[in-house]
Amino acid sequence: NAGVTQTPKFQVLKTGQSMTLQCAQDMNHNSMYWYRQDPGMGLRLIYYSASEGTTDKGEVPNGYNVSRLNKREFSLRLESAAPSQTSVYFCASSRAAGSGANVLTFGAGSRLTVL
Partner 1 sequence: QKEVEQDPGPLSVPEGAIVSLNCTYSNSAFQYFMWYRQYSRKGPELLMYTYSSGNKEDGRFTAQVDKSSKYISLFIRDSQPSDSATYLCAMSDVGGATNKLIFGTGTLLAVQP
Residue 98 contacts partner 1 per CB under 8 A: yes
* Of residues 59 and 79, the one with the C-beta less far from partner 1: 59
Minimum CB distance to partner 1, residue 5 (Å): 11
Distances in Å between the Cα of 61 and the Cα atoms of 4, 28, 35, 46 are 21, 25, 10, 5
CA 19, 22, 25 angle in degrees (round to 5)?
170
What single letter denotes the amino acid at residue 18? S
Pair 53, 47: CB distance under 8 Å: no
Residue 115 contacts partner 1 per CB under 8 A: no
Subset of residues 21 to 80 that bind partner 1, contact rule: CB under 8 A:
30-31, 40-45, 48, 50-51, 56, 58-59
Q: Which residues of the chain form contacts with partner 1 (CB under 8 A)?
A: 4, 30-31, 40-45, 48, 50-51, 56, 58-59, 90, 92, 94, 96-109
